[in-house]
Amino acid sequence: MISIITADGAAEQTQLKAMAARAAAQSEDIVQTVQVVMAAVQAEGFAAVERYTRQFDHAVPCEIPPEALAEAYDACPPALVAALEHAARNIRDYNQRLIKKSAEWPSPDGGMVGRILRPLDRVGVYVPGGTAAYPSSVLMNVVPAKVAGVREVVMVTPPTRNLSMPVLAAAKIAGVDRLIAVGGAQAIAALTYGAGFIPKVDKLVGPGNAYVAAAKRLAYGAVDIDMVAGPSEVLVIADQSAQPHYVAADLLSQAEHDRLASAVLLTDSQELAQRVSEEVERQLAGLERQETIKASLRDFGCAIVCQSLEDCVALANEIAPEHLELVTKNPRALLPLVKNAGAVFLGAYTPEPLGDYLAGPDHVLPTSGTARFFSPLSVDAFLKSMSVLEFSRETLQPLAKEIVTLAEAEGLTAHANSIRVRLEESHSEPS
């Protein structure tokens, strides 16, 4: 069962604080270890990468040839390949519809201004390995980069005796240019600074463990990053019309991620909260990751009963969840009130796993309240813009006096002089 809390009470605030604190807690030992690894790779290059890979993974970094991706693709069950291909098509279509174009337009003062968009040149994608295998993460991170026109996508994944066949197949489907078996903080450092055959990239994307997250945080500035992802979370807003077994199933699906995952129900119905809690207990008995789910729901799961659905949305905006499900009689009526969420799922037949795998929008989403200012990963993340300006003598001249005035107000006399020398010239163009 999950605990049921009344909104505006001390228990509610305690629960919200616990949810917020779970992402902020980061072991100082992890940070210190990662700082040492990053500094060593920056100073020593590939020698440090190889040393740490031997130490942590008992392996040697190596590049996986394209033939291995093709072989994995052929070896995967046809049904899995078909599902991966379907997901890739939807992700590609979604991002192609989002892509922005370069544009130029007349300035109000007669010149021309605009913005030119260019894809990043090289992007690094981290894909977790070990006991976990996430081919969906390969697609969600790589396909938008390829749609943007990134010249080279370099994927890294921890070296294991047998790399995941579905992950390799997904890499082929997504269009990965290079796949390197190297993981952990040393992989992030190698992509940040360049190390031997591992190239420096412009941006790092993709999920990872606490060491990878700490390394990405330290890498930011030398390269760009997508975000520092925290534990996963779902928040479901449901009313009396919701099916309790649907809501319970969605809470459980999120809680199985890890012990720090958060699964919360907001409702205006005490009866629904009770029925969902009972359904959680019933369905849990048939699931595999019971210990993980129990710990997640015990520490970071609950049902909060609010006075109204509007109050539920207001609380959701305060939490700014990664995933927000609106399982109400009229979910679109609540949508205009939603301000902060990574992704919004409307209605009883739009569960969060649909977004995780197949719908098309990216499942790389802001967590831990950062949906207040971060956006989901998309093609936009792999494009950069440059401003462009073009003025003639005739369109510059009317603006010159004010430019000089502004430059002198800032004490930048050379800026003012750059304008004056043009005003002092004759009206004929210089030869």
pLDDT on residue 226: 94
* Cβ neighbours of residue 411 closer than 8 Å, sequence gap 6 or more: none
C-alpha 205/C-alpha 372 separation (Å) is 20
User: C-alpha dihedral over 264, 267, 269, 271, to 10 degrees?
Assistant: -20
pLDDT on residue 426: 46
SS3 156: strand
pLDDT on residue 229: 81
Q: Is the pLDDT of residue 25 over 80?
A: no
* Cβ neighbours of residue 281 closer than 8 Å, sequence gap 6 or more: 1
The reply to whether 322 belongs to the active site is: yes
DSSP strand pairing (301-305 vs 4-6) = parallel
55-99 tens-digit pLDDT: 999 999 999 999 999 999 999 999 999 999 999 999 999 999 999
- Of the chain, the percentage scoring pLDDT greater than 70 comes to 96
pLDDT on residue 60: 95
Burial grade of 286 (CB within 10 A; 0-12, 13-18, 19 or more): exposed
C-alpha 111/C-alpha 393 separation (Å) is 10
Q: Indicate the pTM of the whole model.
A: 0.92
Structure-token match 């037949």, residue found: 349
203-255 tens-digit pLDDT: 999 988 889 999 999 999 999 999 888 889 999 999 999 999 999 999 999 99
322-366 tens-digit pLDDT: 999 999 999 999 999 999 999 999 999 999 999 999 999 999 999
- Exposure string (b/e) for 312-332, b if CB count within 10 Å is 16 or more? bbebbbebbbbbbbbbbeebe
C-alpha 197/C-alpha 64 separation (Å) is 12
pLDDT class of 106 with cuts at 50, 70, 90: very high
C-alpha 120/C-alpha 387 separation (Å) is 16
* Cβ neighbours of residue 174 closer than 8 Å, sequence gap 6 or more: 88, 138, 139, 142, 143, 146, 153
Inter-CA distances, 240 with 58, 247, 264, 267, 270, Å: 54, 11, 16, 8, 9
pLDDT on residue 400: 95
pLDDT class of 423 with cuts at 50, 70, 90: confident
C-alpha 283/C-alpha 13 separation (Å) is 28
Rounded (10°) angle between helices 165-174 and 135-148: 10
CA pseudo-torsion sign 313, 315, 320, 323: negative
Q: Is the pLDDT of residue 267 over 60?
A: yes
The residue from 50, 323, 325, 352 that is catalytic is 323
pLDDT on residue 425: 67
Span 394-414, average pLDDT: 96
**Residue 336 DSSP label:** G
Reported as type and span, the H/E element at residue 266 is strand 262-267
Q: Is the pLDDT of residue 410 over 60?
A: yes
* Average confidence score pLDDT of the chain: 93
**Alpha helix segments (H runs only) across 197-319:** 210-219, 244-255, 270-284, 290-300, 309-319
pLDDT on residue 431: 45
The reply to whether 245 belongs to the active site is: no
280-291 tens-digit pLDDT: 999 999 999 999
The residue from 50, 233, 279, 322 that is catalytic is 322
The pair of three-digit structure tokens given for residue 25, joined into one six-digit string:
């807690």
181-206 tens-digit pLDDT: 999 999 999 999 999 999 999 999 99
Span 260-272, average pLDDT: 95
pLDDT on residue 333: 97
